[in-house]
Chains A and B, each alone.
Chain A
């Protein structure tokens, strides 16, 4: 692939680092390899001088054969345009990389994830603890030489099951003895969690002197994992002074299944239904992101009709997701389920469409590399028309009329959970959260994919950055999505829905690719590394909910308990995607 043409000031920055920053020469790779000692200066120059202020993705790759580990960064300009990709390489024995958390706060959570899964230490990271796995977990599972319990083979299909077709669960075959690798002197029965101690230490470690006034004591309170309004098994540990939040740390990983490791065992096509399970509300968008990434790697383009079908499904998904988000936000505000039930009613209508085209209401598994799986049956087309031209616009207006001007909603949401544009960009948040803070950044416009450059719609943004604005952005985005849907339905071309013939096995040339789409919750990116085999060598999901959660603490510290719950609701997380 060809390197992108760089702007003048970027070339100047590169010139300054002469031998510290070199182009990645491997076949199929892009970007630049930065020497670790230059990383901080390089990143600062990139951010301050070149306008690459929006670092969205940080991930690692373990090149076992080369004895190297690599940290991969994708930085963007908030003005739009393609990524500037840069990498840092380190050895496998004692991997240490300088932390970018102070330059790009968005890296903080993702570096913790890399430390957790790869064991790469980040020097200068403010709070380097495990994030998805529990403290005390043995090993770092995304390293290529790490083997899970009941390990059989590196890649599917496993010989025990294919081609003979014997199906049994691996854990039935292996009693609790094989392949379970405890550290020396470790007794699982006597083990006690040490993670919480580290968490509470980080929680109570706050700079700043005691305030004068009545002497009171602070309490530590856990919200979650079993809590009605954490949207799943999410936990936030808060330090409270009365009802005011002094500090907040969130704890993830209760739903962690190491999606990425499983994804590396799977073949490319086997991952398609697996992406459905990320954000289980927006499976079509997840499919879209994965398909875009793999197609980028394969260098293929789906036919016209397939693109229209894809956009149609993705926009329907956006309507669903935003409706549910508004419903659940109201639920977090304490409205007794009524707005949510109204939102769910519309969702059912759209799920009918999904069921008709894909056979499944939630886990759609509809996209294929170079097309989609099935064409839209004729009988459902009338329903789609009825939805996008009549029912949905009417219902959105209805929700608008009920909620937008409500006094209590405004009192509870306006000025709550404020995120300034600078903060939002620095934290790398995306989607309605970013646009609610006044940054008109929408991947459908900033780096158009599929047919979005031909469609007519506005990027919605508001300027206050509070919970109310995020609500408004979501509401307006539903309208814009309906606008897109109307165009798509009108312009829907005839033709094939799949390039070539559909196969179980796709040939993916070696190389890397980062494909991203504007999922309802924000930037959903898939970073793939292929070594030419049927399975991805590296399969990384940059999930919007995970990164957006980084904004929870800055939004909530100093506010009341009730507001923290609303802030969380306004971020709109789905734990399937956060924990992966």
Chain B
């Protein structure tokens, strides 16, 4: 079992190697003639005005909050699904209850207007 993860680890190392090689190679082979205009920001040919890194309004902020809750809850279904065959009726009842709570929460968030952009 552990060795399976070792394979993945080796693969990860080799896979990480690839983009670094590519970037380094391109860095060596590509021409380098920088000037001020080339390093300006692209905004359709117009010089950008104002700060870009501002207190940006993420309009789906509430979504993101609700998402964190639901994502964790969904992950809890995985072990249940794997062990389902051994668990029997009780587990099904448990899970249905759990999912119903999930559903209820979703409906609540929906009704409260969390699921819309503002």
- Residues in chain A within 8 A of chain B (CB atoms): 196, 200, 214-217, 219-227, 235, 241-244
Contacts and interface: CB of A to CB of B under 8 A. Distances in A.
Contacts of B61: 214
Q: Which of A196, A221, A223, A235 has the most CB of B within 10 A?
A: A221
Nearest to A213: B118
Nearest to B118: A213
Given A214-B57, A216-B55, A216-B57, A226 B49 contact: no
26 contacts: A196-B46, A196-B49, A214-B61, A216-B54, A217-B51, A219-B51, A219-B52, A219-B56, A220-B50, A221-B43, A222-B43, A222-B44, A222-B46, A222-B48, A223-B44, A224-B44, A225-B44, A225-B45, A227-B44, A235-B44, A235-B46, A241-B57, A242-B56, A242-B59, A243-B59, A244-B59
Contacts of A216: 54-57
Given A219-B50, A220-B50, A226 B57 contact: no
Contacts of B58: 242
Contacts of B51: 217, 219
Interface string B8-52: 000000000000000000000000000000000001111111111
Contacts of B46: 196, 222, 225, 235
Nearest to A217: B54
B8 to A, nearest CB: 36
Interface in B41-86: 43-52, 54-59, 61
Contacts of B49: 196, 200, 220
B57 A242 contact: yes
Contacts of B44: 222-227, 235
A216 B57 CA distance: 5
Q: Which of B43, B46, B50, B59 has the most CB of A within 10 A?
A: B46
Contact of B55 (A217, A223, A243): A217
Interface of B: 43-52, 54-59, 61
Contacts of A223: 44
Given A217-B57, A220-B50, A225-B46, 6 more contacts: A217-B54, A219-B52, A221-B43, A222-B43, A222-B48, A224-B44
A235 B44 CA distance: 9
A102 B45 CA distance: 34
Sorted nearest first, the 7 A-B pairs with minimum C-beta distance are: A242-B57, A216-B57, A217-B54, A226-B45, A222-B46, A242-B59, A227-B44
Nearest to A197: B49
Contacts of A222: 43-44, 46, 48
Contacts of A215: 55
A103 to B, nearest CB: 34
B43 A217 contact: no
Nearest to B48: A222
Contacts of B59: 242-244
Nearest to B59: A242
Contacts of A221: 43
Nearest to A193: B47
A81 to B, nearest CB: 43
Contacts of A242: 56-59
Nearest to A560: B117
Contacts of B54: 216-217, 219
A221 B59 CA distance: 17
A200 B48 CA distance: 11
A227 B43 CA distance: 9
Contacts of B47: 196
Contacts of A241: 57
Contacts of B56: 216-217, 219, 242
Nearest to B45: A226
A196 B50 CA distance: 13
Contacts of A224: 44-45
A251 to B, nearest CB: 9
Contacts of A214: 57, 61
Q: Which of A227, A242, A244 has the most CB of B within 10 A?
A: A242
A242 B58 CA distance: 6
A215 B58 CA distance: 11
A239 to B, nearest CB: 10
Contacts of B50: 219-220
A320 to B, nearest CB: 28
Contacts of A225: 44-46
B40 to A, nearest CB: 13
A217 B53 CA distance: 10
Contacts of A227: 44
Contacts of A219: 50-52, 54, 56
